[in-house]
Amino acid sequence: GENVEQHPSTLSVQEGDSAVIKCTYSDSASNYFPWYKQELGKRPQLIIDIRSNVGEKKDQRIAVTLNKTAKHFSLHITETQPEDSAVYFCAASSAYGNNRLAFGKGNQVVVIP
């Protein structure tokens, strides 16, 4: 099955700087890659996603890039703010078969004011 790995496990950034989290996946059939944000004590929520026919997608201060050849995708957060402090999960899924989402273990991002 699909195996998703995230690096680094913890990332501290100064407010206003950029943060980048990278994920790798193992199954070349995966074609959908979402990112979820989980604030302390809250449920995970989708913040951005990308399909394999697109190389990059942006939504205000966040962007996701996908490199299918290398089987990795990254979340980029620019101009970080304290409210960006959270755990971020990447995931991968295929539209075929059982449609399961395989999640990474999560990255703790801490934005230092």
Taking CB under 8 A as the rule, does residue 25 contact another protein? no
What is the secondary structure of 57-113 as a DSSP string? EEETTEEEEEETTTTEEEEEE-S--GGG-EEEEEEEE-SSTT-PEEE---EEEEEE-
Q: How far is the CB of 51 from another protein (least distance, A)?
A: 5
The tokens for 57 are 């997608």
Taking CB under 8 A as the rule, does residue 44 contact another protein? yes
Pick the binder of another protein from 25, 106, 109, 111 (CB under 8 A).
106
- Applying CB under 8 A, the residues found at the interface with another protein are 1, 31-32, 34, 36, 43-46, 49, 51, 89, 93, 95, 98-106
